[in-house]
């Protein structure tokens, strides 16, 4: 698993810094070094915010480029974090540009410029506070405040247009920033106003509910057209019932079928999923939007190790169901679960795996059974030919990465899906 989340941020930062520095008069740079650094950080921050807004619109092209929606959100997150850090610096070490070399792109009254800066500071502070407390805050509230970052971006872009600046608008830096800001603003407005209208999804109805103490299994079938997906994909589910309409992401836990039906394994994690378990009924209509994600099995004949943690078993259930012939090389599925938290029938899962020719080991973490190096050594193959797949919580993923390092399985032979967008 390669972590490339720094690449886009670094690339955009370098391009913007070089363009800004080459657009400013050299004597000005020498005489106003700290002002120029603040100017560069403000400009880079604006570009990163614009790029972050652009990535938020869930375009298939970005999924292909970065290897799945979760990776796109990872890039989006880091662009946002660095944009806020640099914006904070720009605020604290104010550029305060004066003198004959400077002019604003759009003339605005001084008072308006101060109001703009004030709003940007309040928005910035709100975002930083919620980001620092991201796990202590309800997701729906977090998402609402998160939308403020788009507003902060629009305010920052207005500040760029109205404040005195030594970077001419008609210059490589000015044009670069103008194009990115225009695209970023359009993307933000599209995401806020148009996205849900354009991506309505397909109409389904709930056909079966199977309750477990800490979750449920759910089957749905299309009313008309079904979505077309690869096993391992995830979709957003939005139920037409009071308090259940907010779209939430879930991996499809079944292989594509002729009647278009889908099944899901849903853990009761918070308010929304708990309500679902308590109140959802057979016959409830829902919208299914997607598919998304790139957690697809490569199936290139290499030995495979599949590791699932808890509800992370869902995409592997779809893979298993989808296998029409025995694998050409050995596959071993390790399923780590908590005894008090089981949301699948382990015997049924074992039977399905064995029917498909996949070796299966259940590891009950509450009984002290954990993934060990010997589990990876069981796979008879050259270590650099083992393809590993992981879906589950972040902690187990890190443990698996550590074991892979010890066993000699290269890190880039691991493909993951983490159930977290924040
Ligand atoms: C790609 C992907 C696939 C997933 N597949 C499954 C699955 O097959 N089975 C399963 O049980 N869970 C899955 N999840 C997790 C599931 O989406 C969350 O557990 C669920 O949305 C929690 O909602 P809640 O309001 O009950 O809990 P909360 O306590 O409010 O949220 C718990 C966490 O879920 C995430 N979350 C909550 N609401 C949303 C939302 N509207 N959109 C995006 N993320 C949200 C946030 O990271 C949050 O921190 C998946 C998540 C992702 C990102």
Question: What's the pLDDT band for 213 if we cut at 50, 70, 90?
Answer: confident
Say if residues 233 and 291 touch (Cβ distance below 8 Å): yes
Verify that 344 and 411 share a domain, yes or no: yes
Verify that 336 and 224 share a domain, yes or no: no
Task: Give dist(CA 193, CA 19) in Å, integer.
Answer: 33
Verify that 400 and 262 share a domain, yes or no: no
Verify that 87 and 111 share a domain, yes or no: yes
Phi, psi dihedral angles at 421 (to 5 degrees): -105, -10
State the average pLDDT over residues 32-47.
90
Per residue in 89-117, pLDDT (tens digit) is 888 877 666 666 667 788 777 777 777 77
Cα distances (angstroms) measured from residue 417 to each of 59, 326, 403:
19, 25, 18
* pLDDT higher at 319 or 299: 319
Flag the least confident range among 62-66, 123-127, 281-285, 336-340.
123-127
pLDDT over 70 at 422, yes or no: no
Q: Which of 130, 213, 250 to mutate to test the pocket of ligand 1 (most atoms within 8 A of CB)?
A: 250
Counting the structural domains of the chain, the total is: 3
Verify that 238 and 341 share a domain, yes or no: no
Instruction: Specify which residues 304 forms β-bridges with.
Output: 331, 387
Q: What's residue 101's pLDDT?
A: 66
pLDDT over 80 at 132, yes or no: no
Residues 6+ apart with CB under 8 A from 119: 155
The CATH number covering residue 282 comes to 2.40.30.10
Q: What's residue 182's pLDDT?
A: 97
State the average pLDDT over residues 3-9.
81
Residue 328 token pair:
């050409």
- Burial environment of residue 72 by CB neighbours within 10 A (0 to 12, 13 to 18, 19 or more): buried
Verify that 257 and 321 share a domain, yes or no: no
Verify that 360 and 247 share a domain, yes or no: no
Cα distances (angstroms) measured from residue 397 to each of 62, 212, 309, 384, 401:
24, 25, 9, 19, 6
Report the nearest atom of ligand 1 relative to the CA of 135. Answer: 49
Task: Say how many CA atoms lie within 13 Å of 213 toward its Cβ.
Answer: 6
Q: Are strands 386-391 and 414-417 parallel, antiparallel or unpaired?
A: parallel
Say if residues 262 and 317 touch (Cβ distance below 8 Å): no
Cα distances (angstroms) measured from residue 269 to each of 215, 276, 346:
8, 11, 20
Assigned domain for 216 exists: yes
Assigned domain for 133 exists: yes
Task: Give dist(CA 307, CA 309) in Å, integer.
Answer: 7
Q: Which of 199, 270, 289 to mutate to test the pocket of ligand 1 (most atoms within 8 A of CB)?
A: 270
Assigned domain for 298 exists: no
Å from CA of 183 to ligand 1 middle:
29
* pLDDT higher at 380 or 151: 151
pLDDT over 60 at 2, yes or no: no
Closest CA to 276 of 197, 366, 206: 206
Pocket residues: Cβ below 6 A from ligand 1:
70, 138-139, 234, 246-251, 264-267, 269-273, 293, 311, 314, 419-422
Assigned domain for 142 exists: yes
Instruction: Specify which residues 68 forms β-bridges with.
Output: none
Sign of CA dihedral 102, 103, 109, 114: negative
Verify that 71 and 107 share a domain, yes or no: yes
Closest CA to 83 of 187, 172, 153, 188: 153
State the average pLDDT over residues 382-409.
88
**Per-residue b/e over 17-43, b at no fewer than 16 CB within 10 Å?**
bebbbebbeeebeeebeebbbbbbbbb
Last residue within a domain, chosen from 146, 172, 197: 197
Verify that 245 and 320 share a domain, yes or no: no
Verify that 157 and 11 share a domain, yes or no: yes
Q: Phi/psi class of residue 396: alpha, beta or left (left: φ > 0; alpha: ψ in -120 to 50)? A: alpha
Å from CA of 122 to ligand 1 middle:
29
Report the nearest atom of ligand 1 relative to the CA of 139. Answer: 30
Q: Are strands 303-309 and 331-337 parallel, antiparallel or unpaired?
A: parallel
Last residue within a domain, chosen from 292, 322, 346: 292
Q: Report cis status (omega within 30 of 0) of the bond before 291.
A: yes
Closest CA to 306 of 355, 256, 374, 379: 379
The CATH number covering residue 190 comes to 1.20.120
Verify that 375 and 244 share a domain, yes or no: no
The CATH number covering residue 398 comes to 3.40.50.80
Task: Give dist(CA 334, CA 309) in Å, integer.
Answer: 8
Residue 388 token pair:
């590993």
Last residue within a domain, chosen from 197, 221, 253: 197
Q: What's residue 36's pLDDT?
A: 86
Assigned domain for 297 exists: no
Verify that 180 and 225 share a domain, yes or no: no
Residue 185 token pair:
């603003």
Domain that holds residue 78: 5-197
Q: Rounded to the nearest 5 degrees, what angle is found at the Cα of 214, between the Cα atoms of 213 and 220? A: 95
pLDDT over 70 at 403, yes or no: yes
Residue 293 token pair:
């994600």
């Amino acid at each position: 698993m390669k972590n490339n989340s720094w690449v886009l941020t670094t690339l955009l930062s370098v391009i913007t810094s070089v363009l800004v520095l080459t657009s400013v008069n050299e004597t000005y740079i020498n005489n106003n070094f700290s002002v120029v650094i603040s100017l560069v950080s403000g400009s880079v921050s604006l570009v990163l915010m614009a790029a972050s807004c652009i990535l938020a619109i869930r375009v298939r092209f970005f999924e292909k480029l970065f290897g799945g929606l979760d990776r796109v959100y990872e890039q989006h997150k880091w662009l946002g974090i660095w944009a806020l850090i640099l914006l904070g610096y720009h605020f604290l070490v104010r550029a305060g540009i004066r003198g004959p070399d400077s002019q604003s792109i759009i003339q605005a009254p001084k008072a308006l410029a101060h109001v703009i800066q004030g709003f940007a500071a309040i928005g910035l502070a709100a975002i930083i506070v919620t980001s620092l407390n991201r796990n202590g805050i309800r997701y729906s509230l977090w998402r609402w405040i998160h939308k403020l970052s788009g507003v902060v971006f629009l305010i920052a872009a207005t500040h760029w247009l109205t404040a005195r600046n030594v970077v001419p608008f008609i210059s490589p830096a000015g044009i670069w920033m103008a194009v990115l800001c225009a695209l970023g603003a359009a993307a933000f407005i599209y995401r806020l106003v148009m996205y849900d209208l354009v991506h309505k999804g397909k109409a389904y109805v709930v056909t079966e509910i199977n309750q477990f103490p800490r979750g449920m299994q759910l089957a749905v079938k299309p009313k008309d057209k079904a979505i077309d997906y690869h096993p391992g994909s995830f979709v957003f589910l939005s139920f037409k019932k009071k308090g259940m309409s907010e779209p939430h992401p879930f991996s499809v836990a079944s292989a594509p079928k002729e009647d278009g039906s889908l099944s899901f394994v849903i853990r009761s994690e918070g308010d929304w999923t708990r309500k679902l378990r308590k109140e959802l009924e057979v016959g409830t209509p829902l919208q299914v939007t997607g598919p998304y994600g790139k957690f697809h099995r490569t199936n290139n004949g290499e030995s495979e190790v599949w590791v699932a943690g808890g509800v992370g078993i869902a995409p592997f259930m779809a893979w298993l169901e989808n296998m029409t012939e025995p694998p050409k090389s050995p596959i071993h599925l390790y399923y780590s679960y908590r005894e008090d938290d089981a949301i699948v029938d382990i015997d049924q899962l074992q039977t399905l795996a064995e029917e498909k020719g996949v070796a299966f080991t259940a590891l009950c973490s509450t009984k002290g059974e954990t993934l060990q190096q010997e589990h990876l050594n069981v796979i008879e193959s050259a270590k650099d030919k083992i393809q590993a797949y992981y879906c589950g919580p972040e902690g187990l993923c890190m443990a698996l990465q550590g074991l892979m390092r010890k066993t000699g399985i290269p890190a880039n032979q691991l493909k993951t899906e983490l159930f977290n967008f924040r």
